[in-house]
Amino acid sequence: MEPLGYFDFMCATMNAKLVMTDSGGIQEETTVLKVPCLTIRENTERPITITEGSNVLVGTSTSKIIKEADKVLKGKVKKYRTPKYWDGKASERIVNKLVSLHKKKGLLRK
């Protein structure tokens, strides 16, 4: 399949029953979108997508990939949730923290 633009890709991902990838970023996006994801790699730099999210690290074994995909397609998905601070409000928390620090140091002007 040809590469998709970001919005087309996100639309396809949101409507997928299952995503298989070797991309770290997609592991995060599927977790936020609550779409089951199989990561076809031996490790991940995003372990929270496995411990809390919708990601399953399946390695490169064809039989394991097929076994895990079959589970998901039969509705046997693992229980998962969106990680605590993955709510889209990071910038709000950062601004609040900066304002709080400036108030403590007397640097904030009215």
Mean pLDDT of the chain: 92
Mean pLDDT of 27-48: 95
Rounded-to-integer distance, Cα 105 and Cα 90, Å: 23
- Compute CA distances 2 → 7, 14, 44, whole Å: 14, 18, 25
Token pair listed for 110: 């009215």
pTM beyond 0.85, yes or no: no
Domain ranges of the chain: 6-84
Predicted local confidence at residue 109, as pLDDT: 64
Lowest mean pLDDT, pick from 3-7, 19-23, 30-34, 84-88: 84-88
Per-residue pLDDT at 110 exceeds 80: no
Predicted local confidence at residue 26, as pLDDT: 94
Other CB atoms within 10 Å distance of the CB of residue 45: 8
Question: Quick one: fold of 6-84?
Answer: Rossmann fold (3.40.50)
